[in-house]
């Protein structure tokens, strides 16, 4: 309710008091009020206040901090009259010795300057170089990092916003460069959060802000580059790189020899990859800076002379027999060549012929590989500049020699040299017009040979290049007739075809070939046919993954592959149903399992419209035998996978393919006859005697329930499932099937009703224990996010909280014949629990885990060890309390006939005992056991040695 004038009058006694402390308190209160309400002041009020505060700058030093706070408040006023900002700063520069103030008060001065620079720029520029000189006096000697961050920003604004520096350029440089390189370590628990890197970047922004600093900065950078301190080297190199963005030839020319000398020495001699990398970046920046210079007719081309120096110092190292400095020289040359097209032409005209000559001079594969890798570096630079006219490019003039060298590398016995040759060939293929038609034919021949006939997997993988696709197709068909190495060769063809299928146009060629091959090999019953079917499915799966992001390719793949696979599987199933003695490869569990991810990957990325179109055919196929949409749909009998009858068992297996399709559909796709389908799957899962079919039916049921909208229909379906499971679990021939359904329904419902009680069942107990692994693990083909399933967060933690106490209680109350079931269940749960959660629960569970190690069940031992191993590293304080028991348990396992692992704690008191115990498994009949024993024993021999 008061005006500022009334406040001043009320404070009159304090403001005019002869005691400086009293005056200081009065001005402090006034300043605090101004900081709160400066936006409400009128112009005339601001004028009087400014004059008052300027006067007070001559007052006692105890008063000055409060005066500065008031001026900071006034510097924020929008109604500040013209000329007042200049008046305030002149008064501060003249009356206040800033560096004698406390940190907070110095910060206030920087804030006043910053505020005026943001709002009164033109007025301050009217001061000319006096403003710059005044600020230099303010900043000179500043040490606090908080203040330096603001001061550096002010200096950068002075330069970037073109304030007059006048004769004070060197002084401004000196007042900032004295902090270079930054040597600052923030104190522990620093509340201000200023890091060394913040100061480095802020100072670098100043030093690299103007070419006017070049004559002072470059000698400083050269000096620091030659220091022994790595941080100083790195800071200097990074600052030089930043400066090159604004410097020109004029600023650099005097210092180029010294700069090159320092950079060359660091790359040739440094033991630090960081320093080497920064040197190469700086050399690149220097070359780019010189490349930008516009030359007058009588000016010397500094780029040419600079590159000549680089060539003179590096070229001869490429020819030395010991090749000691080959790589450093090549890196320097490539860093300079990558800076501009001019520098690239200048260097490659000299270097490429030399490298080609050296390649032919050396006979060892390792030396040739080094030279070819250097050549590859220059070839990759050519890609950067795109198509180049023949008269400008050294590469085009050496086309024949380059191709000859690369082709020779592809036929070299050394796999590593072949790989570099393939990389070089990839680059050459990307250069428009470089390879002639005859060269392209040779390329295809080499790549086909590498993809199909090389024994080394790296060469085969690298040889799977798009140019091989037609040759692979013909080879696949031709080589089928040969019996020599047929299986291996066909697998390579399949892998190559999948690898090149990266575009819809290629997929349209390769997918029909893969499907035709599947039709050919599925006839018969030998393991080889089944293995080849699996290989084809693996290749089809890879193609599906490569198609997923392209809508056109995804739909082509889906409508081509899914009906074809279904048709072949239905053909095989109906033939076996009518001729039971004829086995078909496509009905093998392993083959059907390999087909599942193919169909799933082909479906997950379909648009809702196309998915709805497809589901309208697939579901009626399984429910009603509607085969009209399948290619070659003439089958020996009806397809009825959900009907009763032993002869229909082959058809029921194909529910796995139905599962792959319907469980991969997006949520918003309506499945026709869904309730009927769920009932059929439920019946099949509880009544089928084939474990594979019953399991896939249960999984399919669970996948559909997972996406089913909540409501009465879903409740009825789940109740129906419970009604089928309960009697099935109690008695009858299908108890295991009922248990599998229970597990999958429990997984969907995020609970396991009745599962704990089954652990004490002698017949179902082991299967129920294994079911805990299923409940905790990620489902690979049905209930995961890739299939659009609804996955609840934290479900593992909730499952642990709900069930582990009951497992522990059940274990203590269980009979000896079923205790292992509880231990196995517990191991499965703990194995899949996030490690941070497990560590917190460890003290209460460790005794039970140690008891599990004594269990005779090998699965329990393995599972428990896999729990304990990371805990030895993550919770050593807890584990160390049980060290004696742990070592005893581990050593007892080493002599077990079923050796499962050697997990040891490297602790000196147990060294001799462990070494003696590990001597026995050295003679074990299993090579893997002997290998692990040797490794573990070797580690224990080193316990207590220096550095261990």
CA 341 from chain centre, in angstroms, equals 33
Cα separation, 146 vs 425, in Å, equals: 55
Give per-residue pLDDT as tens, 697-722.
998 998 898 888 888 888 888 888 88
Arithmetic mean of pLDDT, 922-945: 75
Among candidate residues 874, 937, 940, the one with its CA nearest the CA of residue 907? 940
Which pLDDT does position 899 carry in this prediction? 41
pLDDT tens profile 480-494: 444 445 667 777 778
Torsion of CA 924, 927, 930, 935, to 10 degrees: -170
DSSP characters over 108-119? HHHHHHHHHHHH
Q: Kindly report the backbone phi and psi dihedral angles of residue 439, in degrees, each rounded to the nearest multiple of 5, phi listed first.
A: -65, -40
Does the pLDDT of residue 430 top 90, yes or no?
no
Higher pLDDT, 522 or 91: 91
pLDDT digits (tens, 9 = 90+) for 612-668: 999 999 999 999 999 999 987 788 888 999 888 777 888 999 999 999 999 999 888
Query: How would you class 125 by CB atoms within 10 Å of its CB: exposed for 0-12, middle for 13-18, buried for 19 or more?
Result: middle
**Residue 387 pLDDT:** 56
Q: Which of 676, 679, 627 is nearest to 651 (CA)?
A: 627
* pLDDT at 199 (0 to 100): 92
Report yes or no: 334 and 285 within 8 Å, Cβ to Cβ. no
> What is the CB neighbour count within 10 angstroms for residue 340?
19
Confidence of residue 906 (pLDDT cuts 50, 70, 90): very low
**Arithmetic mean of pLDDT, 912-928:** 75
Q: Residue 642 has which token pair?
A: 């959900």
Question: pLDDT (tens digit, 9 = 90+) per residue, 439-497?
Answer: 888 887 777 777 665 555 555 555 444 444 444 444 444 444 444 456 677 777 788 88
**Cβ atoms of residues 333 and 349 within 8 Å:** no
What are the pLDDT digits (tens) for 125-175? 999 999 999 999 999 989 999 999 999 999 999 999 999 999 999 999 999
Q: Which of 396 and 363 is assigned the larger pLDDT?
A: 363
Mean pLDDT, rounded, for 886-897: 62
pTM for the model: 0.61
- pLDDT confidence bin for 114, thresholds 50/70/90: very high
- 810 closest CA partner among 801, 823, 799: 823
pLDDT (0 to 100) of residue 47? 92
Say which residues have a Cβ less than 8 Å from residue 915's Cβ, sequence separation at least 6: 937, 940, 941
d(C-alpha 511, C-alpha 509), whole Å = 6
Buried-state track 16-35, b at ≥16 Cβ within 10 A, e below 16: eeeeeeebbbbbbbbbebbe
CA gap 823, 855 in Å, rounded: 8
Return the pLDDT at 139: 93
Which residue, among 913, 893, 911, 895, has the nearest Cα to 903 in the 3D structure? 893
Question: Nearest CA to 468 among 427, 433, 508, 499?
Answer: 499
Q: Please, how many CA atoms are within 13 Å of residue 146, restricted to the half-sphere of its CB?
A: 14
Is residue 420 within 8 A of residue 369, CB to CB? The reply is yes
Confidence class for position 294, pLDDT limits 50, 70, 90? low
Q: What is the pLDDT of residues 737-771, one digit of tens each?
A: 888 888 888 777 766 656 778 888 888 888 888 88
Flag the least confident range among 108-117, 406-415, 853-862, 898-907.
898-907
Cα gap 667→679, rounded to integer Å: 20
CA angle 453, 470, 433 (to 5 degrees): 100
Phi, psi values for residue 51, rounded to 5°: -60, -40
Q: Is residue 412 within 8 Å of residue 456, measured between CB atoms?
A: no
Angle between helix 341-361 and helix 273-292 axes, rounded to 10 deg: 130
Q: Give residue-wise pLDDT tens across range 214-229.
A: 999 999 999 999 888 8
Which pLDDT band holds residue 908 (cuts at 50, 70, 90)? Answer: very low
More confident residue, 939 or 593: 593
User: Encoding tokens for residue 676?
Assistant: 């009927």
- CB contact set of 499 (below 8 Å; sequence gap of 6+): 461, 464, 465, 542
Task: Please give the structure tokens belonging to residue 490.
Answer: 């066909």
**Token pair for 508:** 């349209």
Cis status, amide bond into 848, omega within 30 of 0 = no
Q: How many Å apart are CA 854 and CA 892, to the nearest integer?
A: 9
Q: What is the dihedral of CA 802, 806, 811, 817, to 10 degrees?
A: -90
pLDDT at 781: 77
DSSP letters, 419-449, are HHHHHHHHHHHHSTTTS-HHHHHHHHHHHHH
- pLDDT exceeds cutoff 50 at 789: yes
pLDDT of residue 523: 65
**In 426-439, which positions are buried (b, 16+ CB within 10 angstroms) versus exposed (e)?**
bbbbebeebbeeeb
Taking residues 869-898, what's their average pLDDT?
62
Residue closest to 516 by CA, chosen among 497, 502, 503? 497
Q: Which helix (H) or strand (E) holds 266?
A: helix 256-269
Kindly calculate the radius of gyration of the chain based on its CA atoms and give it in whole angstroms: 40
The overall average pLDDT reported for the chain is 82
Q: Which of 147-151, 769-773, 805-809, 921-925 has the highest mean pLDDT?
A: 147-151
Confidence of residue 517 (pLDDT cuts 50, 70, 90): confident
């Amino acid at each position: 309710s008061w005006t500022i004038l009334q406040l001043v009058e009320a404070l009159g006694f304090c403001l005019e008091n002869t005691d400086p402390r009293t005056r200081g308190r009065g001005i402090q209160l006034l300043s605090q009020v101004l900081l709160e309400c400066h936006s409400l002041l009128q112009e005339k009020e601001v004028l009087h206040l400014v004059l008052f505060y300027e006067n007070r700058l001559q007052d006692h030093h105890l008063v000055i901090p409060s005066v500065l706070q008031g001026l900071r408040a006034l510097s924020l006023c929008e109604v500040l009259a013209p000329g007042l900002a200049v008046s305030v700063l002149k008064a501060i520069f003249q009356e206040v010795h800033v560096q004698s103030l406390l940190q907070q008060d110095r910060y206030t001065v920087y804030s006043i300057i910053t505020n005026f620079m943001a709002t009164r720029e033109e007025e301050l520029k009217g001061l000319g170089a006096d403003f710059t000189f005044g600020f230099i006096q303010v900043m000179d000697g500043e040490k606090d990092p908080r203040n330096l961050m603001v001061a550096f920003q002010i200096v950068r604004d002075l330069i970037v916003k073109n304030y007059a520096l006048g004769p004070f350029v060197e002084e401004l440089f000196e007042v900032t460069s004295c902090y270079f390189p930054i040597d600052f370590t923030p104190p522990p628990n620093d509340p201000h959060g200023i890091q060394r890197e913040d100061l480095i970047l802020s100072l670098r922004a100043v030093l690299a802000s103007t070419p006017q600093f070049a004559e002072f900065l470059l000698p400083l950078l050269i000096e620091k580059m030659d220091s022994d301190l790595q941080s100083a080297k790195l800071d200097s190199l990074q600052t030089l790189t930043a400066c090159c963005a604004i410097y020109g030839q004029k600023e650099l020319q005097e210092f180029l020899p010294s700069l090159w000398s320092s950079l060359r020495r660091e790359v040739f001699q440094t033991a630090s990859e960081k320093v080497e990398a920064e040197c190469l970046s700086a050399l690149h920046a220097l070359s780019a800076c010189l490349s930008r210079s516009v030359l007058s007719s009588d000016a010397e081309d500094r780029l040419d002379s600079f590159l000549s120096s680089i060539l003179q110092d590096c070229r001869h190292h490429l020819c030395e027999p010991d090749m000691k400095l080959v790589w450093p020289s090549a890196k320097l040359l490539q860093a300079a060549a990558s800076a501009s097209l001019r520098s690239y032409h200048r260097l490659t005209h000299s270097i490429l012929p030399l490298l080609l000559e050296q390649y032919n001079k050396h006979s060892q594969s390792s030396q040739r590989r080094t030279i070819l890798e250097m050549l590859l570096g220059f070839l990759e630079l050519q890609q950067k500049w795109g198509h180049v006219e023949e008269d400008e490019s050294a590469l085009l003039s050496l086309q024949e020699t380059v191709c000859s060298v690369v082709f020779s590398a592809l036929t070299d016995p050394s796999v590593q040299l072949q790989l570099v040759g393939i990389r070089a060939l990839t680059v050459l293929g990307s250069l428009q017009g470089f390879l002639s038609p005859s060269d392209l034919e040779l390329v295809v021949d080499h790549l086909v040979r590498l993809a199909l006939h090389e024994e080394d997997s790296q060469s085969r993988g690298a040889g799977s290049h798009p140019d091989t696709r037609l040759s692979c197709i013909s080879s696949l068909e031709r080589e089928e007739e040969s019996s020599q190495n047929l299986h291996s060769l066909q697998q390579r063809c399949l892998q190559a075809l999948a690898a090149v299928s990266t575009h819809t146009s290629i997929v349209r060629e390769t997918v029909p070939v893969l499907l035709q091959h599947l039709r050919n090999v599925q006839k018969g019953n030998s393991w080889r046919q089944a293995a080849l079917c699996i290989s084809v499915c693996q290749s089809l799966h890879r193609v599906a993954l490569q198609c997923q992001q392209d809508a056109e390719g995804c739909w082509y793949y889906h409508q081509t592959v899914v009906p074809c696979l279904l048709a072949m599987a239905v053909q095989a199933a109906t033939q076996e149903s009518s001729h039971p003695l004829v086995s078909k490869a496509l009905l093998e569990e392993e083959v059907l399992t390999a087909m599942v991810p193919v169909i799933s990957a082909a479906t997950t990325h379909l648009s809702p419209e196309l998915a709805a179109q497809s589901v309208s055919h697939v579901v009626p196929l399984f429910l009603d035998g509607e085969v009209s949409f399948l290619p070659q749909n003439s089958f020996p009998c009806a397809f009825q996978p959900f009907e009763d009858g032993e002869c229909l068992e082959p058809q029921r297996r194909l529910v796995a393919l139905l599962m792959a399709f319907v469980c991969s559909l997006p949520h918003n796709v309506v499945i026709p006859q869904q309730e009927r389908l769920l009932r059929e799957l439920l019946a099949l899962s509880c009544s089928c005697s084939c474990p594979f079919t019953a399991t896939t039916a249960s999984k399919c049921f669970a996948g559909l329930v997972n996406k089913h909208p909540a409501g009465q229909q879903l409740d009825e379906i789940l109740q129906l499932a419970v009604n089928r499971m309960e009697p099935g679990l109690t008695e009858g021939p299908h108890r295991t099937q009922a248990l599998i359904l229970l597990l999958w329904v429990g997984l969907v419902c995020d609970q396991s009703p009745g599962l704990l009680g089954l652990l004490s069942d002698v017949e179902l107990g082991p299967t129920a224990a294994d079911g805990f692994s299923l409940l905790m693990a990620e489902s690979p083909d049905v209930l995961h996010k890739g299939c659009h399933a609804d996955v609840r967060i934290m479900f593992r933690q909730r499952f642990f909280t709900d069930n582990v106490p009951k497992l522990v209680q059940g274990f203590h109350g269980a009979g000896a014949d079923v205790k292992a079931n509880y231990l196995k269940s517990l191991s499965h749960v703990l194995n899949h629990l996030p490690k941070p959660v497990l560590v917190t629960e460890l003290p209460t569970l460790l005794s039970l885990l140690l008891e599990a190690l004594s269990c005779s069940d090998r699965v329990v031992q393995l599972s428990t060890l896999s729990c304990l191993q990371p805990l030895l590293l993550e919770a050593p304080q807890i584990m160390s309390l049980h060290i004696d028991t742990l070592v005893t348990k581990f050593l007892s396992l080493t002599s077990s006939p079923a050796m499962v692992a050697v997990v040891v704690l490297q602790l000196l008191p147990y060294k001799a005992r462990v070494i003696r115990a590990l001597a026995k498994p050295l003679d074990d009949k299993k090579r893997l056991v002997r290998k692990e024993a040797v490794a573990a024993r070797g580690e224990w021999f080193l316990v207590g040695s220096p550095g261990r």
